[in-house]
């Protein structure tokens, strides 16, 4: 990342070769999303404060907007009436769906890759400005449960396509909020949202610290806190193990099958069992049940997901999401949805700094056309235009310097080929070819070429990712 004295921490500015990696990652994600029929949209960077605060994570530090002339003036306008930068892409989607419900086809499958802004404390992998890549499937009135399998598997496929960038295997850890809520109610817990928020911290702090927070913040007794943490320890890769482990915990803590709480929990168990069994059938080893997954956002109502890279657990979740039934509504009409989001900037940081991936060349150009002298620049420009019309990315030498300097310039940018135009008029100091020639400055090969038909070798046609 570029280091600048005037830059603001938490707002990454990639160097050109780093930006090339980011762009290739984004292109790969978009390609996978569209292979699965998702439609691309873009929403405004700003939303009303009331939209950003409604049913979202109000603990986020939202960046508000104001005009310069208002700076420093006392402003008693409520946050809800200010404009603010969006901190995720799901809350803006809820507004978008309502406003365009008559124009989109349901289920509405959308992908969206945009920047978002959060008042985070900048650190490795966490930024104030970063890019997210989201997919969501939104229904009109109802949404079949099979989408709760489809959505995470699309993200697994997308992350699998990024393995050449040096990413390890990705595994989705799934839970269901109904399972957790039913169990919590069964042991006598009443402040469900607080428990979910505290359990969600298990990846950041110790179980003992979470147990204390459950007592201090959620009003749990020591016994209730212990039961909540026991539930969080359950993992399973098949439905029979999940059901057996859950029933054992219910029996241990006196949650009777005839109780009011059990049917809700059982509904969550069955949905989660369906997800891990179907995922195992379609893409074995991609999804596992992990009952510590809680997701702190309060709009999730069913399945919740966190995705981890094998061997890179310290990085934390790089893709998360879940099912929401009540976030999007218009009068009595509800638009239930399920979606996941990849933290693209966090991935890029990992790829650049941990994997140390780079590009085979800085410039996207495969060819640089040399210029013998400035009077002949039009000839070089014409050759470049011919190549570009055929889809071959190329550049033209910035000056008619010595050919050695022009080749050195191309080499600095990683451009593999230098094109030599034919001789025009009396030879100057340079020795010019009598016809078109192209030189591969990596292999040293130089051959005759025709700009109307020549193509670069496949390995040099486009930039590639290089993993050290």
Annotated binding site: 88-90, 118, 132, 136, 295, 299-300
Work out the burial of residue 342: count CB atoms within 10 Å of its CB; fewer than 13 is exposed, 13-18 middle, 19 or more buried.
buried
Rounded Cα distance, 74 and 334, in Å: 40
State the greatest distance between any 2 C-alpha atoms of the chain, in Å, as a whole number. Answer: 99
* CA 115 to each of CA 44, 194, 358, 404, 422: distance values in angstroms, whole numbers, following the listed order: 10, 29, 23, 42, 47
Cis peptide bond prior to 427, omega within 30° of 0: no
- Binding-site positions for L-histidine: 88-90, 118, 132, 136, 295, 299-300
* Cβ–Cβ < 8 Å for 131, 342: no
Q: Which helix (H) or strand (E) holds 39?
A: strand 39-40
Q: How far is CA 111 from CA 29, 35, 75, 184, 243, in A?
A: 9, 11, 37, 35, 34
Measured distance CA(56)–CA(53) in Å, rounded = 6
* CA dist., res. 278 & res. 149, Å (int): 7
**Burial of 141 (C-beta count, 10 Å sphere; 0-12/13-18/19+):** exposed
Does residue 155 contact residue 366 with C-beta atoms inside 8 Å? no
Kindly state the tokens that stand for 246.
């859950």
**CA–CA dist 359, 419 (Å, integer):** 22
CA-nearest of 30, 41, 126, 34 to 87 is 126
**DSSP states along 129-176:** EEEEEEEEEE-SS---TTHHHHHHHHHHHHHHTTGGGT---EEEEEEE
Structure letter (DSSP) for residue 363: S
| Rounded-to-integer distance, Cα 460 and Cα 443, Å | 11
Q: Does residue 329 sit in helix, strand or coil?
A: strand
Calculate the CA dihedral of residues 274, 278, 283, 284 and round it to 10 degrees.
70
Residue 60's Cβ-count burial label (10 Å; 0-12, 13-18, 19+) is middle
């Amino acid at each position: 990342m570029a280091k600048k004295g005037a830059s603001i921490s938490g707002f990454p500015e990639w160097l050109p070769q780093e930006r090339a990696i980011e762009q290739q990652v984004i292109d790969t994600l978009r390609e996978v999303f569209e292979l699965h029929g998702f439609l691309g949209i873009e929403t405004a960077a700003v939303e009303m404060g009331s939209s950003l605060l409604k049913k979202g994570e109000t603990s986020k530090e939202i960046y508000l907007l104001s005009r310069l002339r208002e700076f420093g003036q006392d402003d008693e306008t409520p946050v809800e009436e200010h404009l603010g930068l969006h901190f995720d892409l799901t809350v803006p989607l809820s507004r978008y769906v309502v406003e365009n419900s008559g124009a989109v086809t349901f289920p509405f499958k959308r992908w969206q890759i945009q920047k978002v802004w959060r008042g985070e404390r900048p650190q490795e992998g966490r930024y104030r400005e970063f890019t997210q890549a989201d997919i969501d499937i939104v229904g009109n009135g109802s949404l079949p449960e099979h989408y709760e399998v489809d959505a995470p598997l699309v993200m697994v496929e997308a992350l699998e396509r990024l393995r050449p960038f040096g990413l390890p295997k990705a595994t989705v850890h799934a839970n269901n909020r109904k399972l957790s809520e039913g169990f919590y109610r069964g042991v006598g817990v009443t402040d469900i949202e607080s428990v979910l928020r505290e359990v969600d911290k298990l990846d950041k702090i110790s179980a003992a610290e979470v147990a204390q927070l459950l007592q201090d913040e959620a009003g749990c007794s020591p016994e209730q806190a212990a039961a909540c943490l026991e539930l969080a320890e359950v993992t399973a890769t098949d439905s029979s193990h999940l059901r057996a482990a859950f029933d054992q915990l219910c029996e241990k803590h006196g949650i009777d099958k005839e109780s009011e709480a059990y049917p809700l929990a059982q509904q969550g168990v069955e949905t989660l069992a369906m997800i891990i069994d179907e995922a195992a059938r379609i893409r074995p080893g991609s999804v596992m049940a992990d009952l510590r997954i809680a997701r702190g956002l309060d709009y999730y109502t069913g399945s919740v997901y966190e995705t981890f890279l094998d061997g890179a657990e310290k990085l934390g979740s790089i893709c998360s999401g879940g099912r929401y039934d009540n976030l999007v509504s218009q009068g009595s009409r509800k638009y239930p949805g399920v979606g996941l989001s990849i933290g693209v900037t966090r991935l890029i940081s990992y790829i650049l700094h941990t994997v140390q991936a780079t590009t085979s060349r800085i410039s996207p150009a495969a060819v640089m056309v040399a210029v013998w002298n400035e009077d002949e620049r039009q000839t070089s420009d014409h050759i470049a235009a011919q190549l570009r019309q055929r889809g071959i990315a190329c550049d033209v030498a910035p000056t008619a310097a010595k050919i050695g300097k022009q080749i050195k310039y191309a080499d600095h940018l990683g451009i593999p080929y230098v094109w030599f135009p034919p001789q025009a008029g009396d030879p100057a100091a340079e020795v010019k070819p009598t016809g078109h020639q192209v030189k591969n400055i990596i292999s040293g090969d130089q051959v005759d070429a025709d700009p109307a038909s020549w193509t670069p070798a496949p390995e040099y046609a486009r930039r590639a990712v290089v993993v050290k």
